[in-house]
Chains A and B, each alone.
With several copies, the nearest count.
Chain A
């Protein structure tokens, strides 16, 4: 199948200090040319570390570099999965309470293998390469910078 020539392909990347909207991310990724939208929603998990309860996360980013890294990532995705149509990624900054979404990624493609693989790759690379950091904040106010283990 020849990769299609779609001038309307969209990349939508956003860092937000307010609650993320699943609807907004998925609407930005949907297309009448696509039968599949694969979505990943990362949420703050209830967690207890060494007996201390995590009450939320505090996110920080090197914002201008986030944009440039995500643009590079989009180019890599479009090279590996030329049938991918739209890519939309919203990431929270600042305070995120337990249970809230910290990141939502949606990718559309005519067929689901492409959207599934691309969204997974996108999340893996986001965690490995995009300059964002989170601090776990514990009950009582202590906190600790986190490190992605993948």
Chain B
């Protein structure tokens, strides 16, 4: 790691819904991520842990602390321990 970069490791709670829960076999899991991290960075990390999730590529967003974040968003997000990150496949409520 480059010594000029300062980053922190936070343990976030990742929630899987609908097809993403089927693909990972999980409803939720704790995940350690280097923060700040972007939506894109989170999605790369989640796919690394669960390669099956790439089946959803192009058809999902994330929710970070209950706010939607695109999986190609490069805005850095500062995450704290216990923050919720959700995988949000296409919605079908109503």
Direct contact of A and B (CB under 8 A): yes
**What is A's interface to B at a CB cutoff of 8 Å?**
42, 59-62, 64-65, 68-69, 91, 102-103, 123, 126-135, 145-148
Q: In chain A, what residue has the closest Cβ to B59?
A: A147
Taken together as a complex, chains A and B put the C-alpha atoms of A31 and B90 apart, in Å, by: 28
Given the interface pairs A60-B18, A131-B86, A133-B89, the reply to whether A148 lies near B94 with Cβ below 8 Å is yes
Taken together as a complex, chains A and B put the C-alpha atoms of A141 and B91 apart, in Å, by: 22
Q: Which label, helix, strand, loop or mixed, suits the secondary structure of the A interface?
A: mixed
Contact A65 B89 (CB under 8 A): no
Interface centre among B15, B17, B63 (most CB of A within 10 A): B17
Given the interface pairs A62-B86, A68-B66, the reply to whether A133 lies near B17 with Cβ below 8 Å is yes
A26 to chain B, nearest CB (A): 18
Taken together as a complex, chains A and B put the C-alpha atoms of A4 and B40 apart, in Å, by: 45
Contact of A135 among B18, B68, B86, B94 (CB under 8 A): B18
Q: What 0/1 pattern do residues 7 to 28 of B give for CB contact below 8 A with A? A: 0000000010111011000000
Contact B94 A65 (CB under 8 A): no
Q: In chain A, what residue has the closest Cβ to B87?
A: A62
Taken together as a complex, chains A and B put the C-alpha atoms of A137 and B66 apart, in Å, by: 28
Taken together as a complex, chains A and B put the C-alpha atoms of A61 and B21 apart, in Å, by: 12
Residues in A with CB closer than 8 Å to B15 are 62
